A and B are shown apart, each in its own frame.
Chain A
Amino acid sequence: MTKMTGAQAFIEALKRQNAKVIFGIIGGATLPIYDVLYDSEVRHILCRHEQCAAHAADGYARASGKPGICMATSGPGATNLVTGIANAYMDSSPVIAFTGQVSTRTPDSSYMIGRDAFQEADIIGITTPITKYNYQVKEAAEIPKTVKMAFHIATTGRPGPVLIDIPKNTQTDTAEMEFSDGIEIRGYKPKYSPHPIQVKKATELLVGAEKPMILAGGGVTSSNAFQELLELAELLMAPVATTFMGKGCFPENHPLSIGNIGMHGTRAANQLILETDVLLAVGTRFSDRSTGKLGTFCSNKKIIHIDIDSAEIGKNLDVDIPIVADAKKALKAIYDSLIKQVKKRKDSVWFRRVKEVKEQLLNNATVEEGKDLKPQALLKELRKILPAEAIITTEVGQNQMWAALYYKALKPRTFISSGGLGTMGFGFPASLGAKVACPDRIVVDIAGDGSFIMTEQDLASSVEENIPVTVIVLNNSMLGMVAQWQRLFYNRRYSAVKLGRVPDFVKLAEAYGAQGVRIGSLNEFSKAVRKAIKSTVTTVIDVPVSPEENVFPMVPPGKGLDEVAIG
């Protein structure tokens, strides 16, 4: 037991969790914490908007596999985190948010919770549906245990964001603080090991499968099950498709990789998933964007579904063999059980079919050099320039889907994007978080002009905090993906999608002390990227592209994966 203030206990508890970095913005209700932080070795990165702090923490978490921390003051500071928290929740990212709150008591009750005090917002009420867990500290002495719980809950089981609300008086109050090692939470016991009977059933199904296929989702990345996935896929000679969130968990230059399924999946993946007889789906929640029409998706196949969250079993899809377990453990168990019964296949009719479909259908959208710069060609070029371990983040929209289709992810955690919530403005702050987590690696944000402008103000933190990244703005002066839908489904009535030729992204970058460059050809693009990734300051590369360009292939909303439009 040590006597200290709540704020001191808070920082001490963070250190005990091995927390190195906080992304945040200070405010009235977090002053006591920041006063302690001033003398601490925990790095604080001052963002320019709390949404960026949350996204940066998310990018940090996804790049490193460790929890990302963000902090905001009460009221508007806290509510500004909301989009970032919702984003982390949808993509199961271990983001821990700490918010200041007005005091639980004050001598004259004028500035306390429940009195609509200045900068009071019910952030617990607001974030209940978008956090894995949230809690408001009642007394200073609770702080060490609460911080520990936050880390434990955010990072175990199915990861997810946790928010801890810390009233100002609990930061300043002094108490005997107990920093215990263990943690026991009644009602929270994640299940990691697969049930042997389910593993046996899955094995039987896979042994008899003629056309097995694996669908790998974000859960494979969360549980770092990359090696297990690779070994199982090679043992079965099963093609591996990924969901959007799973991109990168299986090397996309591997002969068995067939890319993403879904609305903007590869044609090969969407074709082969309809041909498979046994689908092993791991760490995916079968989102509408992945499956398309469920009837088509499920027909003529048996499905094995591994997920650590039992509520995902049967939520969107009825499956034949559910396995509630950690992806890594489940894949290993299935492998161990299979290897006793089957020999590693070298070739099969199915594998030849996979090869054939891949050759015929894999991203064969024509990419010739014409008048306009083709985003598809730029992304293929980018892949040639960047080393395998470089990290890509994306914004949301056409830029994101072009990146998913044309930029091959070769290593885990190198493709970071907002999948579930589809948050425009995510990519740039996430790139900053990723760069902070992995300072020795190249980090590139693939952006659109519409998305980048939503969080560009954090160019300031990028410059001031020395976090050099490269931003490639695929600039079509449009909210391109919405415009694409209007072009395809609303008779080209371009309502509210034209952004115009503002701002000048080169000048914008320069205004922040970053570098800006506009390119006009593939050759210039290549040169600009090579220069930017070596630079010690953030570079924004403005790439004018045609507003008429579509992302294809595309499965129109509500259609089956067999109804692909290829443009």
Chain B
Amino acid sequence: MLYSVANLFRRRGFNIDSISVGPTEQEDLARMTVTVKGDDKTIEQVVKQLNKLIDVVKVTRLDPANVVTREMALIKVHVSETKARSDIMNYIDVFRGRVVDISPETLMVEITGGAEKINAFIDLMKPFGIKEIARTGITALSRGLKSVRIEE
């Protein structure tokens, strides 16, 4: 399924920013959250083209104003000095991240939030020397009662 969705974006020339996939509260359904850049007309085409895929059960365009988006990133930073280490710990605190691995030369940070928050944190880490970044891509749910559910 991921293949046909990704292939569709490639083939039709839609710009895909991120894609995240996982199981849902309904056992036989997976949920994909796709972030797409484009004007209204393009996004409308994206929705229609996705709807044409037989295995796609439902497509919902989430309204950015009424949605909670989260992304998780693991960032491995190079740290040898104690001073740098304590500076980083302060930043992590402010960004509500967590240290998930420590070695004499590195720190691994887990940080969750909107894409902008993660980008800001990454910018802060750059001067220390980032060794590796892994990002999940955005996942999202609309606020309140509204939901994307498939009635059986």
Q: Which residues of A contact B (CB under 8 A)?
A: 125, 128-129, 132-133, 153, 185-188, 309-311, 313-315
Residue pair B3, A187 in contact (C-beta under 8 Å): no
Chain B residues lying within 8 Å of A314, measured Cβ to Cβ, are 41, 44-45
Q: Which residue of B lies closest to A185 (CB)?
A: B54
Nearest CB of chain B from residue A393's CB, rounded to whole Å: 29
Q: How many A-B residue pairs have CB under 8 A?
A: 34
Q: Return 18 A-B CB contacts under 8 Å, by A number.
A: A125-B3, A128-B3, A128-B4, A129-B7, A129-B8, A132-B54, A185-B54, A186-B150, A187-B53, A187-B54, A187-B55, A187-B56, A188-B54, A309-B52, A310-B51, A311-B45, A311-B48, A315-B48
Residue pair A187, B7 in contact (C-beta under 8 Å): no
For the complex with contacts A129-B11, A186-B150, 11 further pairs of A-B residues with Cβ separation under 8 Å are: A132-B54, A153-B54, A186-B57, A187-B56, A187-B58, A188-B54, A310-B51, A311-B45, A311-B48, A311-B49, A315-B45
Chain B residues lying within 8 Å of A186, measured Cβ to Cβ, are 57, 150
For the complex, what is the distance from the CA of A356 to the CA of B23, rounded to whole Å? 65
Residue pair B41, A311 in contact (C-beta under 8 Å): no
Q: Which residue of A lies closest to B56 (CB)?
A: A187
Q: Which residue of B lies closest to A186 (CB)?
A: B57
Interface residues on B, range: 10 to 19
Q: Which residue of B lies closest to A313 (CB)?
A: B48
Residue pair B48, A310 in contact (C-beta under 8 Å): yes
Chain A residues lying within 8 Å of B58, measured Cβ to Cβ, are 187
Top 7 A-B pairs, shortest CB-CB distance: A187-B57, A311-B48, A133-B54, A186-B57, A188-B54, A129-B11, A128-B4
For the complex, what is the distance from the CA of A128 to the CA of B7, rounded to whole Å? 8
Q: Which residue of A lies closest to B6 (CB)?
A: A128
For the complex, what is the distance from the CA of A311 to the CA of B7, rounded to whole Å? 17
For the complex, what is the distance from the CA of A513 to the CA of B49, rounded to whole Å? 48
For the complex, what is the distance from the CA of A132 to the CA of B4, rounded to whole Å? 11
Chain B residues lying within 8 Å of A129, measured Cβ to Cβ, are 7-8, 11
> Mask for B25-45, Cβ within 8 A of A = 1, else 0?
000000000000000010011
Residue pair A311, B3 in contact (C-beta under 8 Å): no
Nearest CB of chain B from residue A431's CB, rounded to whole Å: 31
Chain A residues lying within 8 Å of B57, measured Cβ to Cβ, are 186-187
For the complex, what is the distance from the CA of A315 to the CA of B53, rounded to whole Å? 16
Chain B residues lying within 8 Å of A132, measured Cβ to Cβ, are 54
Q: Which residue of B lies closest to A158 (CB)?
A: B52
For the complex, what is the distance from the CA of A314 to the CA of B44, rounded to whole Å? 9
For the complex, what is the distance from the CA of A187 to the CA of B54, rounded to whole Å? 6
Most chain B CB atoms below 10 A, which of A129, A311, A313: A311
For the complex, what is the distance from the CA of A315 to the CA of B150, rounded to whole Å? 27
For the complex, what is the distance from the CA of A186 to the CA of B149, rounded to whole Å? 13
Q: Which residue of A lies closest to B52 (CB)?
A: A311
For the complex, what is the distance from the CA of A313 to the CA of B55, rounded to whole Å? 22
For the complex, what is the distance from the CA of A313 to the CA of B52, rounded to whole Å? 13
Chain B residues lying within 8 Å of A315, measured Cβ to Cβ, are 45, 48
Chain B residues lying within 8 Å of A185, measured Cβ to Cβ, are 54
Chain A residues lying within 8 Å of B41, measured Cβ to Cβ, are 314
Chain A residues lying within 8 Å of B55, measured Cβ to Cβ, are 187
Residue pair B51, A311 in contact (C-beta under 8 Å): yes
Chain A residues lying within 8 Å of B150, measured Cβ to Cβ, are 186
For the complex, what is the distance from the CA of A37 to the CA of B127, rounded to whole Å? 71
Nearest CB of chain B from residue A123's CB, rounded to whole Å: 13
Chain A residues lying within 8 Å of B49, measured Cβ to Cβ, are 311
Q: Which residue of B lies closest to A315 (CB)?
A: B45
Nearest CB of chain B from residue A322's CB, rounded to whole Å: 11
Chain A residues lying within 8 Å of B7, measured Cβ to Cβ, are 128-129
Chain B residues lying within 8 Å of A133, measured Cβ to Cβ, are 54
Chain B residues lying within 8 Å of A311, measured Cβ to Cβ, are 45, 48-49, 51-52
Chain B residues lying within 8 Å of A128, measured Cβ to Cβ, are 3-4, 7
For the complex, what is the distance from the CA of A549 to the CA of B116, rounded to whole Å? 63
Nearest CB of chain B from residue A343's CB, rounded to whole Å: 39
For the complex, what is the distance from the CA of A100 to the CA of B41, rounded to whole Å? 41
Nearest CB of chain A from residue B72's CB, rounded to whole Å: 29
Chain A residues lying within 8 Å of B4, measured Cβ to Cβ, are 128
Nearest CB of chain B from residue A193's CB, rounded to whole Å: 18
For the complex, what is the distance from the CA of A187 to the CA of B51, rounded to whole Å? 8
Chain A residues lying within 8 Å of B54, measured Cβ to Cβ, are 132-133, 153, 185, 187-188
